[in-house]
């Protein structure tokens, strides 16, 4: 039975670190749904969030193999670490045809807690963050046929409460 897991990884902010992780996934035929990476408050440390799917045995192997990478300082499987928060950022450009539709997209953005960040005569660009499902819901509500283009960040996650993953 395949499960979806979100793994947070602290690693040395060294060149090639990202390719070590992505290379590991392809070399061992693991699934990778999304991957987000950026430096942390300590510029020598990057935090990477990987969303993957697999059987419990495969997920265990993935965390072990990631831990084995020499650049990896620490990691936590957020699904095993207790309650956690997941968010993803989306920028989506919607084609707007007429005032009625513009009003509708504005309402939708308000309902979903998004913001219109760019406007032209024929389009709105909306910024929205939330869980993956919530972003999917927005797209469904707006209608896929109206999407001119979109970019999503991949999932970010933190454990709830005062527990923290620190280098």
Shortest separation between residue 21's beta carbon and another protein, angstroms:
11
Handedness of CA 55, 60, 65, 71 (dihedral sign): positive
Nearest to 35 by CA among 99, 44, 24, 109: 24
- The least CB distance from residue 69 to another protein, in Å, is 8
Q: Does 27 bind another protein (CB under 8 A)?
A: yes
Which is it for strands 156-159 and 84-95: parallel, antiparallel or unpaired?
Answer: antiparallel
Q: Does 37 bind another protein (CB under 8 A)?
A: no
Rounded to whole angstroms, what are the CA distances from 159 to 31, 79, 163?
Answer: 23, 9, 7
Single residue of 18, 139, 150, 167 touching another protein by CB under 8 A: 167
Position 13 contacts another protein (CB under 8 A): no
Rounded to the nearest whole angstrom, what is the least distance from the CB of residue 82 to another protein in the complex?
Answer: 22
Whether the Cβ atoms of residue 69 and residue 63 lie closer than 8 Å to each other: no
Quote the CA–CA distance of 44 and 164 in Å, as a whole number: 18
When binding is defined by CB under 8 A, the residue of 2, 16, 107, 110 that contacts another protein is 16
Please state the closest distance from residue 166 (CB atom) to another protein, in A: 11
- 129: closest CA among 105, 155, 149? 155
CB of 156 to another protein, least distance (A): 21
* C-alpha distances in Å from residue 11, one per residue of 2, 40, 41, 78, 79: 27, 10, 13, 16, 20
Candidates 8-16, 84-92, 93-101, 157-165: pick the segment binding another protein (CB under 8 A). 8-16
Binding to another protein (CB under 8 A) within 48-77 occurs at: 57, 60-61, 64-65, 67-68, 70-73
Binding site for another protein (CB under 8 A): 11-12, 15-16, 19-20, 23, 27, 57, 60-61, 64-65, 67-68, 70-73, 167
């Amino acid at each position: 039975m395949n499960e979806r897991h979100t793994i947070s990884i602290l690693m040395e902010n060294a060149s090639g670190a990202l390719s070590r992780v992505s290379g590991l996934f392809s070399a061992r035929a693991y699934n990778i749904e999304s991957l987000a990476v950026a430096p942390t408050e300590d510029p020598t440390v990057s935090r990477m969030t990987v969303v993957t799917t697999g059987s419990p045995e495969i997920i265990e192997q993935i965390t072990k193999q990631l831990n084995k990478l020499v650049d990896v300082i620490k990691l936590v499987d957020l699904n095993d670490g207790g309650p956690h928060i997941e968010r993803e950022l989306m920028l989506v450009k919607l084609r707007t045809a007429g005032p009625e539709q513009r009003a509708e997209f504005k309402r939708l953005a308000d309902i979903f807690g998004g913001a219109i960040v760019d406007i032209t005569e024929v389009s709105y660009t909306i910024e929205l963050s939330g869980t993956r499902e919530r972003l999917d819901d927005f797209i469904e509500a707006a209608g896929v046929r109206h999407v001119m283009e979109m970019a999503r960040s991949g999932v970010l996650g933190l454990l709830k409460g005062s527990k923290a993953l620190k280098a």
